[in-house]
Amino acid sequence: MKTKHLFWGTLFISIGILVLLNNFNSIDLDWSNLWKFWPVVLVLWGATIIVKDKFFKGMLAGLSGLILALVIFASFKTTVNVISDNFDWNDSDFNVSIDGSDVVKNYNEPFNPMIKKASLDFDAGAGSFLLNSTTDDLFSATTNDVNYNYNIVKNENDSTVSLIMDMEEHHFRFSHGKLKNKVKMELNVNPVWDLEFNIGAASAEFDLSKFKTKNVDIEMGAASLKLKLSDLLEESKVKISGGASAIHIYIPDDAGCDIKTDISLSSKNFKGFNKISSDHYRTDNFNSAKSKIYLNLEAGVSSITVKRTSDW
């Protein structure tokens, strides 16, 4: 057997086994240091070029594939753990000041009863982001940060309004070992919303169950996402694109859901879904459901879970 076949075969088999074991929480190792051993792969692969014996060449190729699989998986686990440790949401952070360095700011856009459709484009870097409350305004946000500034641009035309909220700088800034860029957002329940979130390394919790969301588009880097969807419209479309991420999505109990995936090296748990094809899943009640959700998932090395809201 060719050396490259042993390498790639061992790599994919090892990653598959690691992801499978991770689904059952069976792996408990210190991943934060394991990923640092990636140069060993170069050493072993170089040795396969020098060694002439086919048996040893195969052993070295297989071993390098195994180590690379461990490194890739360790990188994913470490990234997710760092996000969870550093970007956890805490509402009380808005009521305290650390050495006077935290800056709390409020942003508000008034609601016009004539507005029927609204869109929000939120663009930020690393941080912690929360959307789970309603407001009598069209949109409100409270930020707790270290010298971060956000801009809001509003465009209104008859019964339609669009909001763009973006951060002036997308650099990492830490205070006392914690990244302090935190944003808590609130929406008005009356308009039909299109929501777009572009975030980096982040912890995000979006409870959209109270809002009429037509389109939801979330693009993120290495992130932890907890998303609760709405069944207030007959049809809604949700697209999520992520890198090394931990993604938890909750579908309303009575809604039908259709999932299409483009994911690599990811573990997935689609509870209550039937497999239509290798990248297509659907709930039993999809055809009869009054509310249908079309979910498109694109991810790299990620852990993805989709459940009913009763598990929220």
Confidence check: pLDDT of 208 > 70: yes
Tell me the average pLDDT of the chain: 80
The residue ranges of every structural domain in the chain are 3-86, 91-311
pLDDT of the residue at 99 = 38
Q: Average pLDDT, stretch 203-219?
A: 95
Confidence check: pLDDT of 171 > 80: no
Nearest to residue 221, comparing CAs of 45, 102, 79?
A: 79
Q: Average pLDDT, stretch 225-239?
A: 96
Token pair belonging to 297? 């998932």
Confidence check: pLDDT of 254 > 90: yes
pLDDT of the residue at 2 = 63
Q: Average pLDDT, stretch 288-310?
A: 90
pLDDT of the residue at 296 = 96
Greatest mean pLDDT range, 15-24, 259-268, 284-293:
284-293
Confidence check: pLDDT of 284 > 90: yes
Confidence check: pLDDT of 156 > 90: yes
| 5/206: higher pLDDT | 206
Confidence band of 63 (pLDDT split at 50, 70, 90): confident
> Crossing angle, helix 39-50 and helix 54-86, to 10 degrees?
170
CB 242 within 8 A of CB 264: no
pLDDT of the residue at 93 = 47
Confidence check: pLDDT of 227 > 50: yes
Question: What is the percentage of the chain residues whose pLDDT exceeds 90?
Answer: 42
- Give the angle subtended at the CA of 253 by the CAs of 271 and 221, to the nearest 5°: 60
